[in-house]
A and B are shown apart, each in its own frame.
Chain A
Amino acid sequence: MEFFIQQLINCITLGGVYALIALGYTMVYGIIQLINFAHGEFFAAGGYMGVILISYLAAQGLHPYICLGLALVLSMGYCALMAMAVERLAYKPLRQASRLAALLSALGVSIFLQNGLMLTQGVYDKPYPTEITAGGFEWGLVSVSYMQIFIVVLTIVLLIALNLLVFKTRIGKAMRATSQDKVMAALVGINSNRVIATTFAIGAALAAAAGIMVGLYYGSVNYTMGFVPGIKAFAAAVLGGIGNITGALIGGLIIGMVEIFAAGYISGEYKDVFAFIILIAVLYFRPTGIMGENVDDTRV
Chain B
Amino acid sequence: MTTQESRKLWLSCGVGLLWFFILLWPLLGITPEGLEFGKTFTVFGYVAVAAVIIMLFYQVQQAGQLDFVETPIKTASGKAKKIYDSMPRWALLGIVLAAAIIYPQLTERYAHDVAISVMIYICLGLGLNIVVGLAGLLDLGYIAFYGVGAYTYALMSLHFGMSFWLCLPVAGLTAAIAGSIVGYPTLRMRGDYLAIVTLGFGEIVRLIFNNWMSLTNGPNGILSIPRPEIFGYQLKQLWMLYYVILVIVIVTIIAVYRLNFSRIGRAWEAIREDETAAELMGVNTFLLKLLAYAMGATFAGFAGAFFAARMRFVGPESFTFLESAMVLSMVVLGGMGSIPGVILGVLALVALPEVFRGFELYRMLVFGGVMTLMMLIRPEGLWPASRVGRRSEEAD
- In the complex the two chains form, is B332's CB within 8 Å of A231's CB? no
- In the complex the two chains form, is B372's CB within 8 Å of A105's CB? yes
* For the complex of A and B, 4 pairs with smallest distance between CB atoms: A108-B371, A111-B368, A112-B368, A108-B372
Q: Does B52 contact A (CB under 8 A)?
A: no
18 contacts between A and B (CB under 8 A): A35-B195, A85-B22, A89-B19, A98-B390, A98-B391, A103-B195, A104-B329, A108-B367, A108-B370, A114-B368, A115-B362, A116-B28, A227-B321, A231-B196, A269-B210, A279-B196, A287-B193, A297-B393
Alpha-carbon distance A300/B196, docked complex (angstroms): 12
Residues of B within 8 A of A101 (CB): 375, 379
CB-based nearest B residue for A102: B375
Q: Does B88 contact A (CB under 8 A)?
A: no
Interface range on chain A (Cβ under 8 Å from partner): 35 or more
Q: Does A78 contact B (CB under 8 A)?
A: yes
Among residues 307 to 357 in chain B, which have CB atoms less than 8 Å away from a CB atom of chain A? 321-322, 325, 328-329, 332
- In the complex the two chains form, is A235's CB within 8 Å of B196's CB? yes
Q: Indicate whether A121 sits within 8 Å of B32 (C-beta atoms), given known contacts A97-B375, A109-B368.
A: yes
CB-based nearest A residue for B193: A283
Stretch of A6-14, A140-148, A149-157, A270-278 on the interface side: A270-278
Q: Does A33 contact B (CB under 8 A)?
A: yes
The listed residue (B210, B328, B332, B372) touching A112 by CB distance below 8 A is B372
Alpha-carbon distance A235/B199, docked complex (angstroms): 11
Alpha-carbon distance A78/B321, docked complex (angstroms): 28
CB-based nearest A residue for B33: A52
Residues of B within 8 A of A85 (CB): 19-20, 22-23
- In the complex the two chains form, is B23's CB within 8 Å of A86's CB? yes
Q: Does A49 contact B (CB under 8 A)?
A: yes
Q: Does B365 contact A (CB under 8 A)?
A: yes
- In the complex the two chains form, is B32's CB within 8 Å of A234's CB? no
- In the complex the two chains form, is A112's CB within 8 Å of B200's CB? no
- As a 0/1 sequence over residues 181 to 215 of chain B, the CB contacts with chain A under 8 angstroms (1 = contact) are 00001001111110111011101100110110000
- As a 0/1 sequence over residues 230 to 258 of chain A, the CB contacts with chain B under 8 angstroms (1 = contact) are 01001100100000000000000000000
Residues of A within 8 A of B193 (CB): 238, 283, 287, 300
Residues of A within 8 A of B28 (CB): 116, 120
- In the complex the two chains form, is B31's CB within 8 Å of A121's CB? yes
Q: Does A117 contact B (CB under 8 A)?
A: yes
Residues of A within 8 A of B374 (CB): 108
Q: How many residues of B are counted as interface, with CB atoms below 8 angstroms from the partner's CB atoms?
A: 61
Among residues 253 to 300 in chain A, which have CB atoms less than 8 Å away from a CB atom of chain B? 269-270, 272-273, 276-277, 279-280, 283-284, 287, 297-300
Alpha-carbon distance A218/B23, docked complex (angstroms): 27
Alpha-carbon distance A300/B217, docked complex (angstroms): 39
Alpha-carbon distance A270/B204, docked complex (angstroms): 9
CB-based nearest A residue for B391: A98
Most buried by A among B27, B211, B362: B27
- In the complex the two chains form, is B20's CB within 8 Å of A231's CB? no
Alpha-carbon distance A80/B26, docked complex (angstroms): 12
Q: Does B394 contact A (CB under 8 A)?
A: yes
Known A29-B192, A82-B26; 9 more pairs at CB < 8 Å: A35-B196, A81-B26, A109-B372, A111-B325, A269-B210, A272-B207, A280-B197, A287-B189, A299-B191
Among residues 91 to 143 in chain A, which have CB atoms less than 8 Å away from a CB atom of chain B? 93-94, 97-105, 107-117, 119-122, 126
CB-based nearest B residue for A182: B396
- In the complex the two chains form, is B379's CB within 8 Å of A88's CB? no
The listed residue (A107, A228, A238) touching B371 by CB distance below 8 A is A107
Q: Indicate whether A98 sits within 8 Å of B365 (C-beta atoms), given known contacts A89-B19, A109-B372, A121-B31.
A: no
Q: Indicate whether A108 sits within 8 Å of B200 (C-beta atoms), given known contacts A269-B211, A284-B188.
A: no
Q: Does B96 contact A (CB under 8 A)?
A: no
Q: Indicate whether A90 sits within 8 Å of B372 (C-beta atoms), given known contacts A115-B364, A231-B199.
A: yes
- In the complex the two chains form, is B197's CB within 8 Å of A81's CB? no
Residues of A within 8 A of B199 (CB): 231
Q: Does B14 contact A (CB under 8 A)?
A: no
Residues of B within 8 A of A167 (CB): none
Interface residue ranges, A against B (CB under 8 Å):
29, 33, 35, 45, 48-49, 52, 56, 78, 81-82, 84-86, 88-90, 93-94, 97-105, 107-117, 119-122, 126, 227-228, 231, 234-235, 238, 269-270, 272-273, 276-277, 279-280, 283-284, 287, 297-300
Alpha-carbon distance A109/B371, docked complex (angstroms): 8
CB-based nearest B residue for A59: B34
Distance from B124 Cβ to chain A, minimum over Cβ atoms (Å): 17
- In the complex the two chains form, is A99's CB within 8 Å of B394's CB? yes
Q: Indicate whether A52 sits within 8 Å of B379 (C-beta atoms), given known contacts A109-B372, A227-B321, A300-B190.
A: no
- In the complex the two chains form, is A126's CB within 8 Å of B22's CB? no
Q: Indicate whether A280 sits within 8 Å of B27 (C-beta atoms), given known contacts A35-B192, A104-B371.
A: no
Distance from A238 Cβ to chain B, minimum over Cβ atoms (Å): 7
Distance from A72 Cβ to chain B, minimum over Cβ atoms (Å): 16
- In the complex the two chains form, is B376's CB within 8 Å of A90's CB? yes
- In the complex the two chains form, is A107's CB within 8 Å of B325's CB? yes
The listed residue (A52, A100, A297) touching B30 by CB distance below 8 A is A52
Q: Does B369 contact A (CB under 8 A)?
A: yes
Q: Indicate whether A276 sits within 8 Å of B16 (C-beta atoms), given known contacts A82-B23, A108-B372, A110-B368.
A: no
Residues of B within 8 A of A113 (CB): 27, 368
Distance from A56 Cβ to chain B, minimum over Cβ atoms (Å): 6
Alpha-carbon distance A175/B93, docked complex (angstroms): 56
Q: Does B138 contact A (CB under 8 A)?
A: yes
- In the complex the two chains form, is B365's CB within 8 Å of A115's CB? yes
